[in-house]
Amino acid sequence: MNETFMKEKPILPLLTSMALPMVISMMVNALYNIVDSLFVARINENAMTALSLVFPIQNFVNALAIGFGVGINALIAYFLGAGDKKGADRAATQGLVLALIHGVVVTVLSISIMPAFLDMFTNDVQVYQMGMEYAVIVFAFSTITMANLSFEKIFQSVGRMKVSMIGLLCGSITNIILDPLLIFGIGIFPRLGIAGAAIATAIGQLCTLLLYLTVYNKRPIPVKIRKEYLAFHKETDHRLYSIGVPAILNLALPSLLVSVLNGILAAYSQIYVVILGIYYKLQTFLYLPANGIVQGMRPLIGYNYGAGEQKRVKKIYEITLAMSAVIMALGTILCLVASRGLMELFTENAETIAAGGTALRIISAGFIISSVSVTASGALEGLGKGTQSLVISLFRYVILMIPAAFVLCRIFGPTGVWHAFWITEAVTSVIAAYIYHKAVGSRK
């Protein structure tokens, strides 16, 4: 394969070819998240509540895996763009080693803190037991999750987006198939309830890792994991963390936000906690396609930045922004037209459906404008400017969203929390556009 194709091919078809596999895989992965919740919701509403309460910690683990993977992706793409093959190999090797270490640490810590974490949000014994049952199994496979995301980002960094797509499809489809079999005990499978959902997730992750390892060993790529680079390398590790840590925090801040919002909403009714959990499951389906485009953009923008192709960097950003806005517009229409129907997928409680439909319609007002901050953050990470990307997230989740939710709920009750979403996105988009253009303009 021509390794310089990322700076030579026309941008629109190149971005489309890079992004389309990721959009497809993100949509299937989002479908898995929704289907998983649909099956869990069929156990009872307590099971859905347990899943919602575990979500912040589960999201943090995923954030660590994905965020550090962004650092691996960006650094490899930068070195390849600069023609430094050894630097790219070292980044891939060090990134994988550190990710495996992260997995072991996260497994121990997440399982240890889970009892106290659940006690903070519920007094219901069944909800607590279900939450623990699900969490212990899912978090026991954290190391596999870390390895998966490392290989995914390595393949993406060299333009092998189809491999990432197939890997995600493999895991998601396996999970979707196993969910009903293990949750409800169909055929030869035991009835495991919410533990079955966790086991299905773990097996799906394992299948993805096996596929990545097989492809890596059978189909050569420009970047290699090499024994001579296993020893820690201060400069490489520093650069991985300088990009990865802000990306991790970017993705982890929603966990903080969800925990705070759960605390606010629980004071009114557990119904609103369920609604928030359902929204974040639906959000994956709405945002992940746009995130797929950003993932396709990230190695392109990093490679061209490393190669000094500033005009292409600008064009890649503009086209990605336009594509993301179109996807988010479709999400807005869906939530406005079918808000009640979407809620009915997860619950039969009439009060939850009515309140949830209102929540979706209000929150969706900020979808289109959010494409600005989503694209700017992804572009900054691709450029290796993780700190600026983190600043955008801090504004969104900590400086704007949490205070707005506290203030507006005092005025409008729980509905005020939903209004805080679109208000935050409107303000954040302005901040994100300013930060991105200032960061890019600083390199002349």
pLDDT (tens digit per residue) in 116-132: 999 888 888 898 999 99
CA pair distance 422, 415, nearest whole angstrom? 12
**Burial per residue of 217-241, b for 16 or more beta-carbon CB atoms within 10 angstroms, e otherwise:** eeeebbbebeeebeeebeebbebbe
Here the tokens at position 1 are 């394969």
Query: In the prediction, which pLDDT does 322 show?
Result: 92
Longest dimension (CA), the chain: 65
Q: Is the pLDDT of residue 25 over 80?
A: no
What number is the average pLDDT over the span 27-52? Answer: 78
Query: In the prediction, which pLDDT does 6 show?
Result: 67
Q: Is the pLDDT of residue 243 over 90?
A: no
At residue 1 the predicted structure's pLDDT band, cuts being 50, 70 and 90, is very low
CA pair distance 320, 436, nearest whole angstrom? 14
Secondary structure element (H or E) that encloses residue 108, with its range: helix 85-119
Give how far Cα 384 sits from Cα of 28, 32, 171, 301, Å: 28, 31, 29, 10
CA pair distance 192, 178, nearest whole angstrom? 11
Query: In the prediction, which pLDDT does 248 show?
Result: 83
Burial of 413: CB neighbours in 10 Å, binned 0-12, 13-18, 19+: exposed
What number is the average pLDDT over the span 300-319? Answer: 84
Is residue 63 within 8 A of residue 248, CB to CB? The reply is: yes
Q: What percentage of the chain carries pLDDT values higher than 70?
A: 96
In degrees and rounded to multiples of 5, residue 190 shows phi and psi of -75, 155
Query: In the prediction, which pLDDT does 182 show?
Result: 94
Q: What percentage of the chain carries pLDDT values higher than 90?
A: 38
What number is the average pLDDT over the span 183-203? Answer: 91
Q: Is the pLDDT of residue 288 over 80?
A: no
Closest CA to 41 of 51, 56, 31, 55: 51
Dihedral sign computed on CA atoms, order 238, 380, 254, 353: negative
Q: Which pLDDT tens digit goes with each residue over 334-354?
A: 989 999 998 888 888 889 999
- The per-residue pLDDT of the chain, averaged, comes to 86
At residue 112 the predicted structure's pLDDT band, cuts being 50, 70 and 90, is very high
Residue 309 DSSP SS3: coil
